[in-house]
């Protein structure tokens, strides 16, 4: 009999791993598109998704808008630093990310406004 792995997410019921991922993905899509894109009337959804992906890939690490811009530039995508700050601000106001300023240890990090970003929800 194959081993079935279960994952508990925010409820007392047990779900299979694939079911849990579908639920979390649906919550993510609903939050991104309903709460952020429609409310703020963003038109460049692709840019927002790339910023979200970068932030999620770097959870718990310190990064700045300049590092996101550099990452997107390396992928031949151009984006303004102010746009990145706007996206991060909207993600924080939608309780998807929880960013906080960190004490910079070098002058360079201080000038880049380094931030540490954490997930706000258990499932995300």
Encode 30-44 in three state secondary structure.
HHHHHHHHHHHCCCC
Report DSSP state, residue 96: S
| 119 against 81, higher pLDDT | 81
How many domains is the chain built from?
A: 1
CA 19 to chain centre: 22
In a domain, 43, yes or no: yes
CA 89 to chain centre: 11
In a domain, 19, yes or no: yes
Q: Find the CATH number of the domain harbouring 46.
A: 1.10.10.10
Dist. CA 68–CA 86, nearest whole Å: 13
- What pLDDT, in 10s, does the model give residues 17-61? 888 888 888 888 888 887 889 889 999 999 999 999 998 888 878
In a domain, 1, yes or no: no
**Domain carrying residue 10:** 6-119
In a domain, 124, yes or no: no
**Alpha-carbon distances of 115 from 60, 78, 94, 121, rounded to whole Å:** 9, 21, 18, 18
CB–CB of 119/59 below 8 Å? Answer: yes
In a domain, 98, yes or no: yes
In a domain, 38, yes or no: yes
Q: Which of 5-9, 25-29, 71-75 has the lowest mean pLDDT?
A: 5-9
Q: Around 35, how many Cα atoms within 13 Å sit in the side-chain half-sphere?
A: 15
Q: Which of 39, 43, 36 is nearest to 97 (CA)?
A: 36
Dist. CA 42–CA 94, nearest whole Å: 14
């Amino acid at each position: 009999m194959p081993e079935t792995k279960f994952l508990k997410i925010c409820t007392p019921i047990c779900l299979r791993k694939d079911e849990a991922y579908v639920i979390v993905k649906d919550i993510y899509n609903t939050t991104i598109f309903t709460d952020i894109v429609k409310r703020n009337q963003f038109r460049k959804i692709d840019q927002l998704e790339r910023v979200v992906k970068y932030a999620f890939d770097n959870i718990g690490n310190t990064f700045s808008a300049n590092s996101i811009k550099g990452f997107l530039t390396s992928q031949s995508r151009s984006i303004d630093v102010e746009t990145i700050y706007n996206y991060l601000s909207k993600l924080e106001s939608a309780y998807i990310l929880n960013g906080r300023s960190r004490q910079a240890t070098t002058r360079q990090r201080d000038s880049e406004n380094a931030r540490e970003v954490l997930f706000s929800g258990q499932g995300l």
